[in-house]
């Protein structure tokens, strides 16, 4: 799949998410967890990990946290988001339907201060299909314990 398209789609999705919801606060939060690296995105500038302790399964539905850490902020384009060092997302993945959606997102600056905190309802943010060759495929395989 075209990397440029995937980057555009990811940026557009994040922009839509952030404009669809309001901030819920700007202080507190935690980046601690049992993080396991699953790869990089954005030409290797963003490292992605899953919090192994956060994985919960209820039938075909699984929830988990992921962490994305920006290595070089000056090389990253923060379209429709404040500049951040670390993003902690809470996700739902449907292991049978092979869909996923973001349920909350916190963005932290380099001093670990929350610069944005969002929560997303199922109505505001619909599930999207897990696509081959994406970081979401790796998340699916880790959380659902099976290949896409």
pLDDT band at 4 (very low <50, low <70, confident <90, very high): very low
Contacts of 18 (CB under 8 A, 6+ apart): 80, 81, 116, 118
In this prediction, residue 43 carries a pLDDT of: 93
Of the listed ranges 23-27, 46-50, 99-103, 111-115, the least confidently predicted one is 23-27
What is the tens place of the pLDDT at every residue in 105-120?
A: 999 999 999 999 999 9
> Which of 23 and 124 is assigned the larger pLDDT?
124
> Which of 27 and 47 is assigned the larger pLDDT?
47
Q: What is the CATH number of domain 3-144?
A: 2.40.128
What is the tens place of the pLDDT at every residue in 65-93?
A: 999 999 999 899 988 889 999 999 999 99
What's the token pair of residue 11?
A: 């940026």
Q: Tokens 């943010």 appear where?
A: 125
Cα separation, 85 vs 92, in Å, equals 23
């Amino acid at each position: 799949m075209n990397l440029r398209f995937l980057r555009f789609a990811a940026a557009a999705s994040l922009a839509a998410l952030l404009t669809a919801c309001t901030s819920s606060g700007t202080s507190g939060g935690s980046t601690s967890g049992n993080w396991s690296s699953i790869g990089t995105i954005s030409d290797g500038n963003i490292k992605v990990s899953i919090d192994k302790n956060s994985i919960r399964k209820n039938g075909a539905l699984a929830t988990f946290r992921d962490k994305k850490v920006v290595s070089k902020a000056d090389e990253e384009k923060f379209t429709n988001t404040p500049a951040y060092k670390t993003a902690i997302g809470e996700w739902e993945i449907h292991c049978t339907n092979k869909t996923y959606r973001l349920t909350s997102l916190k963005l932290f600056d380099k001093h670990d201060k929350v610069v944005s905190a969002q929560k997303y309802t199922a109505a505001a943010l619909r599930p999207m299909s897990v696509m081959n060759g994406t970081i979401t495929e790796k998340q699916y395989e880790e959380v659902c314990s099976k290949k896409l």
